[in-house]
A and B are shown apart, each in its own frame.
Chain A
Amino acid sequence: MASRKTSQPKRESGDKYSVLLPTYNERENLPLIVWLLVKYFGESGYNYEIVVIDDGSPDGTQEVAQQLQKIYGEDKILLRPRAKKLGLGTAYIHGIKHATGNFVIIMDADLSHHPKFIPEFIEKQKEGDYDLVSGTRYQGNGGVYGWDLRRKLISRGANFVTQVLLRPGASDLTGSFRLYKKAVLESLVERCVSKGYVFQMEMIVRARQLNYTIGEVPISFVDRVYGESKLGGNEIVSFVKGLITLFATT
């Protein structure tokens, strides 16, 4: 097959991509996202591994993850669970420690980030030797599915205010679908103190501050089909607090 032939040199390039999948109650989504990751990595031929960081989900996500590991192999699916829900930021730190690739991809496990964009991220990264590549809902063919007018307005409004105040040099600050050089991610994670959405924002703002180069790829964000969002609550309040903190400290 033609695709096999073209995929061969990619495996030999020595680059390896570690996908970090933090999960909390994603029993239904995890098999689907893993299946899609395997599909697109298989087709594009890049070397990869999937690191599942489950925070003791009561719905049995870990058990599903073990089944997936049996199906796809222990070299492809790494399980690095933690005993209890300790938050997204520390889940990444935990995951990076166990990632063996020289690149790390961070994405949500709830299917709102589609693995079909990963080959585009990788090509973009190679194109400019970028330190990080960020998915963006706000440019080109990027967009969202399942958002009403109110949510679009809040999203666009918050993004505009942030762009004016922080001039971060990236169009999507709160998105969390990104590819990093591993060393870059490590140095960023070490510096970032925020939680929740603001964590993603701080990562990219600090990246700019440290003069890391940023590439962007338009992505479509499809609202989760299964399970429910774990953030939420007083999202807007914590966003504003985070924005002010970054405004005053970076």
Chain B
Amino acid sequence: MVVSTKMALEGAHASAQAMRQINPDVVAAYPITPQTAIVQTFSQYVADGEVDTEFIAVESEHAAMSACIGAAAAGGRVMTATAANGLALMWEELYIAASLRLPIVMSVVNRALSAPLNIHCDHSDSMGARDAGWIQLYSETGQEAYDNTIQAVRIAEHPDLLLPVMVMQDGFITGHAVELVEVADDASVKEFIGTYTPKYSLLDIDHPVTFGAWDLWDYYFEHKRQQTDAMSKAMKVIVDVGKEFGQVFGRTYGIFDAYAMDDAELAIIVLSSTAGTARTVIRELRKKGLKIGLLKLRVFRPFPAQELVAALKDVKAVAVLDRSISFGAMEGAGPLFLEVCAALFAAGATQKVVNYIYGLGGRDVLPEYIERVASDLQEIADTGKVKSLVNYLGLRE
């Protein structure tokens, strides 16, 4: 029987609470705004003896992920957290963690990448890591950050996957905002995540194993094929774990959260906290009779192409909101838009699509921006024409 307590928590503290309850074997981390609140709070739990975790305060994020890889290869349940340039400094190790099939769980509190120097939210950090082989879950609220972190352990460690998982929340907007978060009792979380027994580990001295050996033209290709196969199995595991989480804790999770999509002719796709703003605007527009809905994507890696195509099948026009730019991509579009376009095209779909870049470097997302998107969508649906493929919300032009 789950006994939950409602706590007023910042998003980052909600993640730290989840980490405390998960009680990982090893956390290796380096502070960076706006993630610091997670590891600082967690290190307090370590100092207070509330967890058994070996906390390694390292000299950089490169070292943080390196230590996580070593600890995970040794057979531990391992977690860390980072943001922005810290994530960028982990680049080499992100690929290694995924390629060695180490189920590390990492919180990313999304923040713009330098330069110019900026500490506020956008998704350029985690989007840059989208091809590193990590599963990516995006959270709208502190509650989702908490819930996703707990589920991430189960997803990562699933024997079909053994893939690292990144759990995102928006820097400051979610990370530093106080919201009511339902925190379950420690025992229920402990039972839900279970114990982790790795099949291969460096500390299993009766079965010696070498991690990260030389792998040339004769086998590297096969190992990459295995990796992409594991990723293709992840969607089912994510859905199963989300369902089970719902049965136990009362909040069910899927691939995306559909709002007012049933009879929608227009749709907006967005990640994380901006879904809240979009939902509010859509609720008002629905009252005025506009047939518009929202798809808030929770899972970006693996990308839910088939599921999105199905969810959009009766829609005439789709707007994709991107909080980062894929520089040099088609018309400077955002990564989410490119994925949506690819999914629709490959499925032979004929919906009109339009992209909006918004909120870079923490630029506020106002309701009127979403209203503009809605009226553009209406015009696109009426005329069948997209005047401008990639647009900017809240930019001084």
Q: Do A and B bind each other?
A: no
Task: Point out residues on B near A: beta carbons under 8 Å.
Answer: none
